[in-house]
Amino acid sequence: MKIVKSIKDLSVYRKNKFVSFVPTMGALHEGHLALVREGLNCADICIPYIFLNPKQFAPHEDLEAYPKTLEADLEKLEKTGAQAVYLPDADEIYPDGFSTSVKVSGISEMLEGEFRPHFFDGVATIVTKMLLQCLPDIALFGEKDYQQLLVIKKLVSDLNIPVDVKGVPTMRDENGLALSSRNAYLNEEQYQIACHLNRILSDISKGKINENRGREALLEAGFDKVDYCTVRDAQTLLPPDENTTERRVLAAAFIGTTRLIDNLAMSQ
């Protein structure tokens, strides 16, 4: 597997190939690898990208603690069949004097945007840079970060970036917990609490309980704080109205200092 470190080498490597691109922050798990597998299915070459982007963490968040497992990540990517990995240094991405920010209004200002106001500008800026650096034919993102997927689709459409953005379903463990690099922060007791998140979202998605009851159920299950637990229009993320054809239930909640997010399509 080729390790590409610079923008120049990346553009030389991808030339004349039909390429898919999988951006990640490392600490790779089966969810990331599902994106790579799908990338290999739909393109000749899949290039995952590992960069722990400081711009999408606020000063009080977990940038320092975020798991860093580069050697194991490279091994997993190689085993999965990725032909190359893009592994730029921070100054390749943010050289001295870097002063541009990409902001997607509207869809990035609610839900995650309300509770992590720095987050989507950081994501939109890095994703725009990455897409322009690689100009992949296809870029894959997980539905696990459903709002992020919509923000990226919007920026690609608004800026006419010539790439097809593809969402990949969420990979879960045997207890239904969405795989996440942040699950590594959970001890056994916290893990048991975390597993209720999918169960409660599933009850909401099937209409067994409403979103308010879902929020209470999360607190009763042991979550310490619920940022949101809400049913939204799956395209706009606004509260559903008479034009809504598809709905999605989305939640973010804390166990101690660990913040978990998850979402499901509503089945009715």
Q: Which are the catalytic amino acids?
A: 32
Q: Are β-strands 164-168 and 138-142 bridged in parallel, bridged antiparallel, or unpaired?
A: parallel
User: If binding is defined by CB under 6 A, does position 32 make contact with ligand AMP?
Assistant: yes
Q: What are the φ and ψ backbone dihedral angles of 219, each rounded to 5 degrees?
A: -65, -40
CB of 109 to ligand AMP, least distance (A): 20
Question: Nearer to ligand AMP by C-beta: 209 or 228?
Answer: 228
Instruction: Give the range of 11-19, 28-36, 83-91, 192-200 binding ligand AMP by CB under 6 A.
Output: 28-36
CB of 75 to ligand AMP, least distance (A): 17
User: If binding is defined by CB under 6 A, does position 25 make contact with ligand AMP?
Assistant: yes
Q: Are β-strands 84-86 and 2-4 bridged in parallel, bridged antiparallel, or unpaired?
A: parallel
CB of 73 to ligand AMP, least distance (A): 10
Instruction: Give the range of 91-99, 155-163, 172-180, 185-193 binding ligand AMP by CB under 6 A.
Output: 172-180
Residue 227, H or E segment = strand 225-233
Tokens found for residue 173: 């463990």
In 3D space, the residue among 166, 173, 191, 181 whose CA is nearest the CA of residue 73 turns out to be 181
Longest Cα–Cα distance of the chain, Å, equals 55
Q: Which residues have a Cβ under 8 Å from the Cβ of 164 and sit 6 or more positions away?
A: 137, 138, 139
User: If binding is defined by CB under 6 A, does position 116 make contact with ligand AMP?
Assistant: no
Q: Is the distance from CB of 119 to CB of 113 less than 8 angstroms?
A: yes
Q: Is the distance from CB of 49 to CB of 10 less than 8 angstroms?
A: no
Q: Is the distance from CB of 41 to CB of 15 less than 8 angstroms?
A: no
Judged by CB under 6 A, which of 129, 144, 215, 232 binds ligand AMP? 144
**# residues near ligand AMP by CB under 6 A:** 17
Judged by CB under 6 A, which of 87, 168, 193, 229 binds ligand AMP? 168
Question: Nearer to ligand AMP by C-beta: 178 or 217?
Answer: 178
Question: Nearer to ligand AMP by C-beta: 118 or 213?
Answer: 118
User: If binding is defined by CB under 6 A, does position 145 make contact with ligand AMP?
Assistant: yes
Question: Nearer to ligand AMP by C-beta: 57 or 223?
Answer: 57
Tokens found for residue 21: 């691109």
Instruction: Give the range of 94-102, 138-146, 198-206, 230-238 binding ligand AMP by CB under 6 A.
Output: 138-146
CB of 246 to ligand AMP, least distance (A): 19
Three-state secondary structure readout of 234-247? CCCCCCCCCCCCCE
Q: Are β-strands 84-86 and 225-233 bridged in parallel, bridged antiparallel, or unpaired?
A: unpaired
User: If binding is defined by CB under 6 A, does position 88 make contact with ligand AMP?
Assistant: no
Q: Which residues have a Cβ under 8 Å from the Cβ of 137 and sit 6 or more positions away?
A: 18, 19, 20, 43, 163, 164
User: If binding is defined by CB under 6 A, does position 129 make contact with ligand AMP?
Assistant: no
Q: Are β-strands 138-142 and 84-86 bridged in parallel, bridged antiparallel, or unpaired?
A: unpaired
Site for ligand AMP in 209-228 (CB under 6 A): none
Binding site for ligand AMP (CB under 6 A): 24-25, 31-32, 34-35, 141-142, 144-145, 168, 170-171, 178-181
